[in-house]
Structure formats: C-alpha cells, structure tokens
Amino acid sequence: MAKISALQNARYAYKPKLPAVLKLRLNTIQVAFGKPTKAISDEADLKELFKNTYGKPIAHFVKGKNPAVKELIRVGVILSGGQAPGGHNVIAGLYDGIKAGNPDSKLYGFLNGPAGLIDAKYVEIKDKFMDEYRNTGGFDIIGSGRTKIETPEQIASSMETAKKLKLDAIVIIGGDDSNTNAALLAEHFIQTGMSTRVIGVPKTIDGDLKNKQIETSFGFDTATKTYSELIGNIGRDANSAKKYWHFIKLMGRSASHIALECALQTQPNICLISEEIEEKKMTLKQISDDICQVIAKRAENDENFGIVLIPEGLVEFIPEMKKLIAELNDKMATEASSFEKLKSFADKKDWLKSHLTASSFKTFDSLPEAIADQFLADRDPHGNVQVSRIETEKLLVSMVETQLAEMKKKGSYTGTFSSYTHFFGYEGRCAFPSNFDSDYCYALGYTAFVLIASGLTGYLSSVQNLTADAKDWTAGGIPLTMMMNMEQRHGSKKPVIKKALVELDGKPFKTFAKNRDKWALKTSYLFPGAIQYYGPSEVCDTTTKTLLLERGKGKPTEVVVADAPKASAKTSAKKTTAKTKATSKAKPAKTKK
C-alpha cells in the first residue's frame, strides 16, 4: 500500500457520530409514515410516468419492531455525477448497517458510475477494502460517472445486472439528475415485477438539492469551507499588496448557494447572486456598471484592490444570455447532425445567424470570440451548456477594463486597475470531509440501509435537524417524486428533480444583502482558515452559515477590522497553553499498515 499522510491516518480513526434513533438495536427501528405526498408541479404528467411510485408518504424512523433488518440482503451502490466530500462515508454507513443487520449480507460497488450497473462491472466491498476509505475525500473507492440510465437498452442491461447479482436493492448516491435516475429505475423495476428496491442519497456541493425535508446536500459544507479558506487567503494577500482586484468564479452549476455561503464566511467587496440578477432582469452591461462603481469608489480611498465572487452559472440568469443559451441548447439538440458538420468558428457563427432569433444572435455576436466559442462547446449528458467552461470571470474583467478606461477619460475614475482571475471548482470536490460531512454522510448511508431493510423503494435518504447535536438528528426517507417537475431537456419535456435556488426572501440572502454595501467600500475581509478536525466542537463541528441562518441559529455577521489590535504575548501564551492542554487528551491513531 502507498504511504499515507498523518492526517489521513488520523482520519481513519475518526468515529462518525449518529442520530440517537440509529443507535438503537436495529430490529427496534421502525418506519412510521405520514400522509401521501404530491409533486411540486406537473402532477398529472408525473402520475402518468410514475404509476407505481408517485404520491408515497414521507417516512421517519421511530422505536418499534423491525425483524426484517436481520435478513440477508444483497445491495449495489453507485456514485453518480461530480465528486463531493463525504461520499466514501455514505458507503461506509451503508456497509456498516448492512453488516450489522446480517454479517453475511453483501455490498457491491458498481465501477465508474451508472455505467458500471449497465455493463455489470463491479467489486464486492469487504472490511479491509472499506477501511481504506473511511472519512476520506473523493469517489475513488469505486469511481463515478455521468451516464444516464434512460434508453430501453440501458434499462434492460441494468435489470440483467440486478438479476445476475440477485440484488435486493440499489443505492444511487448523486444530485438532482442522478436521483431522477433513481426514481425512474425504481418505477421500471416495479413495472417489470422485479423486487429490487432503489434508494437515493442527496449529493452535490452546489447545495441545490434541498427542501424542507432535505436540509442540505452532502459535500456543500466541506466545499464551501475549502473555497472560503482560499478566498480568505486571497483577501489577506490583496489587503497586503493593495494593488489587485481578484475576480473569483465559484463552482455551482445553477444556484448561487456556494457564492452566497462563501460571501457570508469571507465578506468580499462584491458577490454576484444569479437569482437576484434574474429577478432584477439585469443585463451584462448593468452588472459591469455596478462593479465599476464599487471599483471607482474604493479608488477614491486609495484602495485599488478588492474581491469579486461570481457564481459559475451566472450567464444562465442574465436575461439575454439565458435566452441565447436556451436557443443554443435547443438548436444544437434538434439539429445536431447539421451543426456537428461545421468545423470552424466562422462557419458555426454563420449557421447560427440563420438559426437563432435576431436578438439572440446579436447577443452572441457581441461576445469576444474566445468566450462565444465556449458557448458552443460539447453539451453535458443532460443537453446543457457546460457553464464551468465559460470564463465568465474573464468576460467581466474585459468589460470592466473597457468601461474603466472610458470613465478615466471622463474623469470619473482616477484609480489604477490590475486584475487576476480564478476559478475554484475541483479544489473543493474531493477535500477531506469536515466533521459535519463525515457524520452527515455516514448517517445518510446508515439510513439508506434501514429504508432498504424496511422494504421501501423510490425514496431519498433523509437526515434532519442538522444544526442540533448529531444525537438529536432525525432520520427517514422522502419520496423522490415529491421533489419533481417537468423540464425541457434535449428538446423535449423530461421529469427531473427541481433545483433549489437561493431564496431572496430567505435569511441567508437577507443577511448578506444587509451587509454588502458596507463590505463593498470598507475592507472587512474574514479569514476562515483551514478546516479543523480536532479541538472544541464550536470550531470543528459547526456547519455552514447558510444552514444555521435557515434554521434560525445563525448570529449576525460581524465586520472584523483588518487592523484590530493583536493579543499580547502573555495572553497568547496562555491561550496556546490552554489549547495544548485541551487537545493533548486525544490519543494518537495507530499507524495503518
């Protein structure tokens, strides 16, 4: 085995915390049901598509009797979509639950995402194998993939694999599209008389898979803390050099949850929130104007530096860009054979002139060629433009530079502007999971097992009350069809789990909006530092400001003045000694061979 870091070795020894209900003897955990549920919209269409699984009740765990948990079962697990910290712990929780129910039960990991189920490529997960991945980041235990199980051939192959392995259940760990896959698979299995159950687990660092029952998707906590550390580092550097504006694009396919959470943690000068821009119907020019005004006002105070946070999916929320993208997605899907024959950008542009509306082509034509070409890149498996490949941060810098030059000619801007662009995405997807994500993910996996053992299918694993101590968390399952609507995909209407966007009337956004004008002009950066795994609970186990504010537990954000007085050497020494005493009680983990 390859050598491992001291941190990884120590994390192997971490024992994730569980809700009290999951600490009961397994045969005393019973499922209680609420009332039948409804989809958020398009009820008639979804009832027709999900004749056997639509309208199921919400399930929650209570103390009772459940002898079925002791039965021998065979389960397959899939990691689907982009990586998110904590995925390994979902599998660990599922594995430990299965083995606690019956040591002879088996767990199979399908390799490289849903394709592993289709192609019958898998590995049996056993103790030694599982132990190498506990509390670690990444999805490398079995790999992930973005294949959709949607064609008749793919569905048939998946069923054959399930029959071959005699699977009692399949657990799909993924985001909104992946869990739509889970819902469709559950329905197909019932339609064909198969007893294989399907359970989903809510994964995405984007934070857009949530509702009243799913308080947060796993990985969001770790990813935003990772990005916030980097933003804080850049903020301190900017305040030291005092000569650069940093434009930082942050991962988040559609919603701005990551950008908002990072803003609450770091207090940048500017943070764009896509949902607000869409509501205000702001144009790209108006966004650039607003940024330039802040730059000019800070320059008046000789502060020619700053931080701008930009959501990855911003372009899809700017009205003229949203219209352009929708038309491009549709035309490139319905007329793919014609478009794919075009080789040069000039040929593609000429083709688009006769296939787009005049207003959309005008928008496309106004973009720098390098940026415009990014709008024409290969679509993702769901037919959407890959916004991570659109360098919105560079587009904004280009527009700001041009506008500031005009302002300087008119005398309305007297500063200097130098910029750097960044994109924080992959840096956060495979980080060592925070204690919160380690605990939450383990509980989600364990919950998935109890749902399976209780005979449920078409449900999403749910753990709630997440701002309380882990022992007070609650667990159960949410019907997947409850979160669905119909959306345009590949030129036709498809059932999908609706993305949860930033709520402009929600407390997280309101807290940000209340402070942003102050942060714009007064350098108020916060420096969160690296994720902490050991020490006081308030340092190591606290979750995101977003979740705390949503649950009414968050404190008002305080502006920290950059030149606050430092503690005396004597005071610092006392604090260091106290911290050393508090942490020295922890026993070092044994070296793993």
Q: Which residues are catalytic?
A: 206
Half-sphere exposure of 17 (CA within 13 A, CB side): 17
Query: Can you tell me which residue has the tokens 């712990």?
Result: 89
CA distance 276 to 407: 26
Is the distance from CB of 545 to CB of 221 less than 8 angstroms?
A: no
Residue 201: strand pairing partners: 173
Give rounded-to-5 percent helix, strand, coil for the chain. 45, 15, 40
How is residue 372 written in tokens? 């415009």
In sequence order, which ranges of 32-86 are alpha helices (DSSP H)? 43-49
Is the distance from CB of 172 to CB of 79 less than 8 angstroms?
A: no
| E strands present in 14-121 | 29-36, 57-63, 74-79, 106-110
Is the distance from CB of 512 to CB of 260 less than 8 angstroms?
A: yes
In sequence order, which ranges of 301-421 are alpha helices (DSSP H)? 319-334, 336-339, 345-353, 358-366, 369-374, 392-410
In sequence order, which ranges of 194-268 are alpha helices (DSSP H)? 220-241, 257-266
The H-or-E segment that residue 310 falls in is strand 306-311
Pick from 15, 143, 68: which is nearest to 450 by CA? 68
In sequence order, which ranges of 38-175 are alpha helices (DSSP H)? 43-49, 87-101, 114-118, 127-131, 152-164
Residue 518 CA, distance from chain mean position: 29
Pick from 11, 520, 487, 47: which is nearest to 254 by CA? 487
Q: What are phi and psi of 213, to 5 degrees?
A: -95, -30
| E strands present in 413-559 | 419-424, 459-464, 474-479, 484-489, 492-497
CA distance 437 to 443: 10
Spell out the residues 6+ positions from residue 220 whose beta carbon is closer than 8 angstroms to its own.
84, 204, 205, 206, 207, 257, 258, 261, 544, 546
CA distance 375 to 35: 45
Query: Can you tell me which residue has the tokens 């071959």?
Result: 164
Residue 47: strand pairing partners: none
